[in-house]
Structure 1
Amino acid sequence: MVPIAGLLDVAFLGHLADIRHLAGVSLATVVFNYLYWTFGFLRMSTTGLTAQAIGRGEEEEALLIGLRHGLLALLLGVAIVILQVPLRQIGFAMLSATPEVSAAGQTFYNALIWGAPATLVNFVIIGWLLGRSQSDRVLILTAVNSGANVALDYWLIVHLDWASAGAGIATAASQYLMLVVGLGLLYRDGNGKQRRINVRKLWDASALTVVLVLNRDILIRTFALISTFAVFTNLSSAFGTVPLTANAILMQVVTLAAYFIDGIAFATESLAGLFRGQGRLSQLQQLVLVAGGLSLLVGVLFAIAFISYPDPLFGRLTDHASVLLYLKQYVLWLLPVLGFGSIAYMLDGYFLGLTEGWILRQSMLQAVLLGFVPIALIAWYQHNNHWLWLSLSLFMAMRALSLSWQWFNGWRRTEVS
């Protein structure tokens, strides 16, 4: 459900007469990736910690985890709104774009930034529900968010011709609607149940230490991931408006596939945390093998579909002939990016469920410094988009290989013990 809204954003903007709106939104998305997904630990750590608490039968602790993260998310979201002007100035100063593209991107930013508190609290709600294996609730919230986003996009972009501003308003409004529905679901589930919580436990020093250490590692991991995609987009922008737009559309395909793979990764995350909480360590190996096979199948099928049928599929996203002609030269790179990426995304979920944040941090840093950066430098020096896609492919490959090695070593230690 989530990427459908993103794809329709691209489709609505990609069919406007002026392509700068799509390019500007692609650029502004880099800024929001930093602002939002740097705090992705709010969702990730909530899921793993909650699943383990449920596995141990500690219902009160699971509720406390949700409250701790929810309060933290609200404070961070309000801080982002307060600091929106300096954040915008710093973010766009670091990105390369023409004045027209930058102006369109800042218009999108100015509208979307007001959704920050709702977005971050929604991270926690989704994480908490996933930790409790209530994926049906997650589906409801996602459907509300995506459905509202698509409807508002169509009204604001197509009918009112608000372009990038309309896309920002639509996304922010849909986040607040999702928040209201999410809080309503939580209230309904808890209505009539005796939920006595010792407020002092919210600030328990040992629990807060676990949360802060885990969140620190996930934050570093996520910041490195976002930085990789930000550099990829920024180098694409330096190559010109057409390469930027073409790469943005190809990355929408990667994002689309990643969300499907994340469905498997989220299930892996919930089950891994549950199995660890219950002490059922023998189930973890089978979990990874099944989830890994399914993830690889999804990633490869997506790549093959877009490689085999570029005209009908990409033609739904833009009708600019120059962009379509350009991106066809690079569509084959989807195969290694999604092939290796599918394994990496699934293993991310596995280690998040085990709350092994340091493994995720180290793997990500190795992939960035050894896989992505050296080849990206060559791409920048050569001004070559193929080298840029090679750098992203190697980045995904190193993530998949290093996490697989960590899983194998952990499984081997379990067998020995």
Structure 2
Amino acid sequence: MENNTSQSLDQTIPNQDDLLPRFFRLAIANVLSNIMVPLANTMSVAFLGHLSEINHLAGVALAGNLSSLVFLFLASLRMSTTGLTAQAVGRDDREAMLLVGLRNALIALVLGIAIISLKNPLQELGFGLLTATPEVKASAIAYFNAQVWGAPAVLLNFVLLGWLIGREKNGLVVLLSVTGNITNIALDYLFITQWGWESTGAGLSYTTSQYLALSIGLIIVCLEVKWQELQNLAGKIWDTSAIVSTFTLGGNILLNNFIFLSAVVIFNYESAAQGTITYAENALLLQVIFLCSFFIEGLGFGTEALSGNFKGKGDSTQLVALVKISVGTSLLIGLFFAGVCVLFPQTVFGLLTSHKEITEQIDTYVFWLLPVLGFISVAYILDGYFLGLTEGHTLRNVSFLSFVVGFLPPDIAAFSVHSYRNHILWLALSLFLLVRLVLFVVQLPRTFQTEIPQPAMSSSVITEQLPET
């Protein structure tokens, strides 16, 4: 290994003794980065909502669901990048750390170009199955056709953020997120309100902001990584076993995301089947869950980076301490959100809607936030913990068993008990999260087993350390 690619990462590895402040620095940076996303989305909706024709708002919402679904699946790129990068940093292996970023960036670029190439089939499949007026569909297609050109930048930004999170570059994570989302808001105002580009303007603002954030990220990388290092690593990027293992890890994470999303989609579908009022009540409760999730995910990202780092060092003592700190903090946040809603339901949900027929009856179901947010706050953290350990197969298996054992039985039973159907539906979601939590906890002890720190390895070997599927 050349000296310039094997130089020590000591300057990029924070002191292992300051776990508590280290965890919260990561958590705060990731929470700030996370909350920028709903802020930008809300502002886009506001600009479109003030146009004379409502079909632009409806069309963008329709197309946004399709693109969000595609990008949600491919967010596994960020998740797999963080864990592998953190482990390389923990082993003090600069070559491995660089190769993880380069290899995953190459995969992201190929997938992004593939999405652009398949934009017509994706458009026909996504919008052909949906019922909407011709005007709404036209707006949706205009937005999608403008937004899809940003696919390579979106996926490369996933990898870049995962790489920075894995290296605990907190300030840069916030910088890129704020830059991308603030630019999106500013361009929305310019393209939609000032220039009247409507749905196309909304799509172009998203695409442009993604490429701007990517440009800044690439400048940062170029300032840090020497050209000679990239030349020395070029031949190792195409390591077949490493690429196969990367795809295996990403595929398991993708399946985990798909199963989790399936439970939420089924919950929404069956909520809608119970009538408008019940659907609206459930939608408001889910909004609270989603809002809380942005905070909990920030803690999960921090847990992911640190668990990967400690695994790379073989430091099982720090893994135990990390789980205690992260789970305790996340549980407090989840129960705080639930407690405020249970104690002050009319005040909280009155801010979200002025329809009294919804807020007056929401007391019947609001207590379900206690188990759901309690379970999900712990499950999210352990999800991040096992992501950092790059145990994609564990995430996949836990999600599958949780869905089959926890969610499906009560969900099927809900069809035959009409009087309490919505309560049973919430029970199904709660049990899905509870079984998921229990299965994660059962897996924890083996991850705490003492491991002997390994010397820096060639990065062509790093992915061979992934668990077998």
Question: By the TM > 0.5 criterion, same fold?
Answer: yes
**Alignment-derived partner of residue 258 in structure 1:** 293
**Alignment deviations for residues 372-401 of structure 1 (CA, whole Å, 9 cap, x no partner):** 233334456767544433322222222111
List runs of 5+ in structure 2 lacking aligned partners. 1-31, 452-469
**Alignment deviations for residues 181-206 of structure 1 (CA, whole Å, 9 cap, x no partner):** 22222223336885553322111133
Aligned residue-pair number: 413
Measure the CA separation in 2 of the matches of 1:253 and 1:24: 25
List runs of 5+ in structure 1 lacking aligned partners. none
Residues 62-141 of structure 1 aligned to structure 2 (within 5 Å): 62-92=97-127, 99=133, 103=137, 108-141=143-176
**Alignment-derived partner of residue 395 in structure 1:** 432
Aligned residue identity for 1:6: P
Kept after mapping to 2: 8 A contact 1:44/1:352: yes
**Alignment deviations for residues 278-337 of structure 1 (CA, whole Å, 9 cap, x no partner):** 111221111111111011111111222344445555555555666656766544333322
Secondary structure of 2:92's aligned partner = coil
**Alignment-derived partner of residue 362 in structure 1:** 397
- The CA RMSD over aligned residues, in Å, is 3.5
Note closer, same or farther for the CA distance 1:354–1:154 as it changes in structure 2 (3 Å cut): same
Q: Which moved more, 1:198-207 or 1:306-315?
A: 306-315
Note closer, same or farther for the CA distance 1:159–1:303 as it changes in structure 2 (3 Å cut): farther
Note closer, same or farther for the CA distance 1:258–1:18 as it changes in structure 2 (3 Å cut): farther
Note closer, same or farther for the CA distance 1:345–1:157 as it changes in structure 2 (3 Å cut): farther
Kept after mapping to 2: 8 A contact 1:47/1:130: yes
Note closer, same or farther for the CA distance 1:357–1:320 as it changes in structure 2 (3 Å cut): same
Aligned residue identity for 2:390: T
Measure the CA separation in 1 of the matches of 2:328 and 2:38: 27
**Alignment-derived partner of residue 14 in structure 2:** none
Measure the CA separation in 1 of the matches of 2:216 and 2:72: 22
Q: Which moved more, 1:210-219 or 1:314-323?
A: 314-323
Match of 1:372 among 401, 407, 420: 407
**Alignment deviations for residues 148-202 of structure 1 (CA, whole Å, 9 cap, x no partner):** 3344455666777877666544433332222222222222333688555332211
Structure 1 position 236, deviation (Å) = 4.1
Measure the CA separation in 2 of the matches of 1:63 and 1:206: 17
Structure 1 position 344, deviation (Å) = 0.9
Aligned residue identity for 2:260: L
Q: Which moved more, 1:127-136 or 1:304-313?
A: 304-313
Q: Does 1:337 align with 2:361?
A: no
Match of 1:290 among 325, 339, 344: 325
Aligned residue identity for 1:288: V
Per the normalisation by structure 2, the TM-score is 0.76
Kept after mapping to 2: 8 A contact 1:23/1:244: no
Aligned residue identity for 2:320: Q
| Structure number, greater radius of gyration | 2
Q: Which moved more, 1:37-46 or 1:208-217?
A: 208-217
Note closer, same or farther for the CA distance 1:5–1:206 as it changes in structure 2 (3 Å cut): closer
Q: Which moved more, 1:319-328 or 1:116-125?
A: 319-328
Note closer, same or farther for the CA distance 1:11–1:140 as it changes in structure 2 (3 Å cut): closer
Match of 1:60 among 95, 116, 122: 95
Note closer, same or farther for the CA distance 1:27–1:203 as it changes in structure 2 (3 Å cut): same
Q: Does 1:31 align with 2:66?
A: yes
Aligned residue identity for 1:127: G
Measure the CA separation in 2 of the matches of 1:230 and 1:358: 23
Q: Does 1:407 align with 2:439?
A: no
**Alignment-derived partner of residue 203 in structure 1:** 238
Measure the CA separation in 1 of the matches of 2:365 and 2:59: 21
Per the normalisation by structure 1, the TM-score is 0.84
Measure the CA separation in 1 of the matches of 2:345 and 2:43: 15
Secondary structure of 1:38's aligned partner = helix
**Alignment-derived partner of residue 347 in structure 1:** 382
Note closer, same or farther for the CA distance 1:12–1:355 as it changes in structure 2 (3 Å cut): closer
Match of 1:268 among 267, 290, 303: 303
Secondary structure of 1:180's aligned partner = helix
**Alignment-derived partner of residue 463 in structure 2:** none
Q: Which moved more, 1:215-224 or 1:99-108?
A: 99-108
